[in-house]
Amino acid sequence: MTRPLAVLAVDDEAPALDELIYLLSGHPLVGNVYGAADANAALRELAERRIDALFLDINMPGLSGLELASVLGNFSNPPAVVFVTAHEDKAVAAFEVGATDYLLKPLRRERLDEAVRRVVNARAAEPAPTEESDEVIPVELAGLTQLVRRDSIGWVEADGDYARLHSSTGSHLVRIPLSTLETRWRNQGFQRVHRSYLVALQLVTGVRTTDSGVFVQIRANGASPAVELPVSRRQTRELRDRLIRDPMRSYRPGGDEH
């Protein structure tokens, strides 16, 4: 791995978190370092940006570090996990959930250096993620963290700096701009059709042209009839082109379009 690591430090104790961020920030193999005070905050960070490794406390309110590491196992390309804890007796459980390393507090710089090198070596040995790998998006509802598979999402709606995912499991608000998802998912069969909408091409059932504009029809979430969303003039041609050539779609031109 040639680029510097993007690292997320997670600890519910502010002094410990500050020290961990400080030590990681000074490492020559580490680029960006982010911080989170609990597992839910960590999941939000993971949804918003690419993270190569978590340096993670074990005992935290809500989801523990071990539980968070188990959740990460559902990700298509999970970050490496290094536990940083004062508890010697959790090492076996930590490695059972796939930890790359296990550091004891108080931290020693040379031991942290070794952990970073292990992360770099582990990431370099991993195969590159394939386009077939399906992403999961962590969402929070009433204090519960739920994982939404990308292939269950029919369309995404802009909501200020947030995005609302419309999936087979319901509607979920996430703190990710629509433009970010557009870039991330374009090669996974999604198309921006309007400044407010991103759609899954495989769930498009038709394109309808009227005097008032162009509309794309999507059958998702068990909805019947299909949901209809507006298509902006500047996106119409690219949408039609992708519907014809995109191998991930189930749409058949000519059947529903009129």
**Run of H or E residues at 67:** helix 65-72
Domain CATH for 21: 3.40.50.2300
CATH of residue 200's domain is 2.40.50.1020
Does 116 share its domain with 166? Answer: no
Question: Is residue 142 domain-resident?
Answer: no
Cβ pair 72, 8 in contact under 8 A:
no
Q: Look at the chain and report how many structural domains it folds into.
A: 2
Residue 47 has pLDDT above 60, yes or no: yes
Determine the structural domain holding residue 227 and report its residue range.
148-245
Mean pLDDT over 191-220 rounds to 89
- Beta strands 80-85 and 53-56 are parallel
Name the least confident of 8-12, 69-73, 112-116, 252-256. Answer: 252-256
pTM over 0.75: no
Residue 212 lies in a domain: yes
Question: Pick the residue with more confidence: 202 or 119?
Answer: 119
Q: What is the pLDDT of residues 83-120, one digit of tens each?
A: 999 988 888 888 888 899 999 999 999 999 999 999 99
Q: pLDDT per residue over 208-237, tens digit each?
A: 899 889 999 887 655 556 789 999 999 998
How far is the C-alpha of 200 from the C-alpha of 191, rounded, in Å? 7
* Per-residue confidence band for 127, with pLDDT thresholds at 50, 70 and 90: low
Give yes or no: residues 227 and 192 share one domain.
yes
The mean pLDDT of the chain is: 85
Report the share of the chain in percent with pLDDT over 70: 86
145 φ, ψ (degrees, to nearest 5): -90, 120
